[in-house]
Each structure stands twice: as structure tokens, then as C-alpha cells.
Homo-oligomer: A and B are copies of this chain.
Amino acid sequence: MRSKVAGYRRLGVAVVGAGYWGPNLVRNFCANPQCELLWVCDLRPARAQEVIGHRSSVRVTDALDTVLRDEDVEVVAVATPTHTHFAIAKAALLAGKHVLIEKPLAGSVADAEALIELADRQRRVLMCDHTYCYTPAVRRICSLIADGSLGSLQYLDSVRINLGLIQKDVDVFWDLAPHDLSILDFVLPPECRPLAVAAHGADPIGVGRACVGYLTLPLTGGGIAHLHVNWLSPTKIRTTIIGGSRRMLVWDDLNPSQRLSLYDRGVELTEGLSPEMQRSVLVSYRSGDMIAPALPEQEALQGVVAELVAAIGEERRPLTDGQSGLRVLRILDAASRSLRADGAPIALGGAELAVPTMAAAG
């Protein structure tokens, strides 16, 4: 029997997958007073036990069925390898559970579409754990774009590199780019969405898949987004630069004392007559102060769990719903096709332009 706190029921939660990310889900579901963690499910029950500790009464199993048959479980959080997402999430939705799922949402666009449809039919919440979208920094970036502080977007340049673990089943695009693509999807306004993607990669160590990769995404409106992902970098860099017509910003996620730097800098154009050319563009430069806004220190996953709980309670879609996961997946899918075509740009469908603005999230 689940306990009740202050008149409301706690949501019963099961975490499936006790690998790299699962322990973070366990910790954050335990910390949320509206949730009650009931199960940790992993093919290696000893690993699951280790994650919850030896003196805990949370139950452990290697049988997903057992979890899904437990009527007290209302939420299933899936942190297993990508190729298993579809089967587990489908089973959970069919069992009437709400589902939180690690990125990428599924292994294919078709699977992701099927999950979204199933969740709609079952009237259950399907949420993508786009964790970064719930960091104070990304929330602030989102509101700075939405309220016009940056002006119109010129470019986004993101670097996420490290001497990272070389994955056995996916290339560096599928491993690292989902972070940046989910952020892009979250912060880009409707008038400035990706039109196409070109992917360039290299496998200089002969591991059979790209270890160094670059994605270029022209945006509606003339801007451009660019991602550098790399498993072979000697230093860890996680920096995004966003150029806007009014202000520019740098997000350095590894600098806790100054994650965001907002520059009152830019270039302004006036058409006019210049001596050299009959009709020319006059350029002026603005180099003003920089502001590093104070940001609260809070763990992003707390925000993920809170949004999940709120979406369930309010019977609405979460901010990072299945559609956002699907849009990320479509870009990854197009990137793979571009890579096979030596970097030829692959157009993205119109669907991603029709999404409701994320601006309200900031």
C-alpha cells in the first residue's frame, strides 16, 4: 500500500534500468515528496539492489511483467539502452502506465510515432527525459529568446566534446547530439526552425562508426545551427554560443560560477550611400557590457520529475513530450542519411515547424 501525504496520493514509480542514468532517476524520484519509488527493475538484480542500497525496502526485480502487473505502479521510467525503448514503453503504455523515457525516444522514427499514437490512445503521459531543458541555464536561454532579449537569432554553435566512452551500438551523433538537439528544439522559436541537416563525420581510429562529428542545420530566417560532437577530445568542452541581433550569449556548462554570459554586442546595418559604392550597406558595431545573470543551483532532474508529476496531475502534455522526442529523432535520422551521402544536406519535413512554441517554458 502506498502512503498518502497531506491528502494527496503519492504516485507509485518504477525505474527500469539501473545502469548509468538509472541511479539518478532513483535518487530524484526518492527526493520528490509526491512520488514513491516502488520498484527498480534490471536484468541484473544485484546491480539494482546496489543502486537502492542494502537497507532500503524498495523492491528489486528482473521481471518487467512483475512491475507492470503491480497496480500501485502508475509511472514507469525507462533508462535502458535505446534499442529496448520501444518494447518497454509500449508494454508499459498498454499496461496503463505513464512513461518517462530517456533520449533518444526510440530507435527509429516509426517506433517513436507508434509510441506517441499509443500514448494518445491510452490517454497516458509520454514524456522524454530531455534533462538539459530543465536546467536553470536552458530555461533562462529559452526565456531570453522568447522575450526578445536576444533579438532575431543569427546562429547557434554548440560544442560537446570529451574523451568519452565509445559506444558499442551507436555513433557519436546518436550518443551526444540528442542533448544539443533537444535543447535546440526547446529554445528555438517557431520562426527559426531547422530546414535541413548536413552531417560530416570521421572514424579515425577504425572503430566502425563516427567518433568525431559535425552537424550543420540551416534555419528558417537565414540563421544556422552547428554542432560539434566528439569522443576523442583531450579536454571536456560543453559550450554553446548564440548570436542574436540584439544580444549574444555564451553558455559554458562547465563553469558553475558563470554559466551564462549575456553580451550587449552586435552588428547593425543601415543601408545608405557610401563613398566607395553607390548603394551600400553601412555597418556599425556595438560593444557594451556583459551580464552574467545569477542562476539558481538546482538539479535538472528535479525539474523533470516535477514536470512529469504536474503533467499527470493536470492531464496535459509535458513540456518535453513525445513530439519533441520525435523531432529530435527525425534530425538524427536525417543526419545518418547525410553521413552516408558524404555530407549532402537532407531536408527536414515541415512537421517540426508546426510545433507549439516552447517559449512559455522559460
Contact = CB atoms under 8 A, between A and B. Distances in A.
B154 A204 contact: yes
A291 B290 contact: yes
A206 B222 CA distance: 8
A269 B228 contact: no
Contacts of A345: 342-343
A356 interface: no
Interface string A42-80: 000000000001011110000000000000000000000
Contacts of A343: 198, 216, 343-345
A224 B202 contact: yes
Contacts of A261: 234-235, 292
Total copies of the chain:
4
Interface residues of A, number: 75
Contact of A205 (B154, B212, B214, B290): B154
Given A248-B232, A342-B345, A204 B155 contact: yes
A141 to B, nearest CB: 14
B250 A226 contact: no
Interface stretch (A89-97, A182-190, A280-288, A318-326): A280-288
A222 B203 contact: yes
Interface in A194-224: 198, 200-208, 212, 214, 216, 218, 221-224
Secondary structure type dominating chain A contacts: strand
Given A206-B222, A234-B243, A267 B155 contact: no
Nearest to A226: B214
A219 to B, nearest CB: 8
A28 interface: no
Nearest to A247: B234
A359 interface: no
A168 interface: yes
Given A56-B56, A207-B269, A292-B289, A234 B241 contact: yes
Contacts of A234: 241, 243, 248-250, 261, 263, 265, 290
Interface in A243-262: 243, 245, 248-250, 257-258, 261
The 8 closest A-B pairs by CB, nearest first: A234-B248, A154-B204, A202-B224, A234-B263, A290-B292, A200-B216, A55-B57, A55-B56
23 contacts: A30-B53, A53-B56, A55-B56, A55-B57, A153-B204, A154-B232, A163-B265, A163-B287, A168-B277, A200-B216, A200-B218, A204-B221, A207-B269, A232-B243, A232-B248, A234-B248, A235-B257, A289-B291, A289-B292, A292-B292, A342-B345, A343-B343, A343-B345
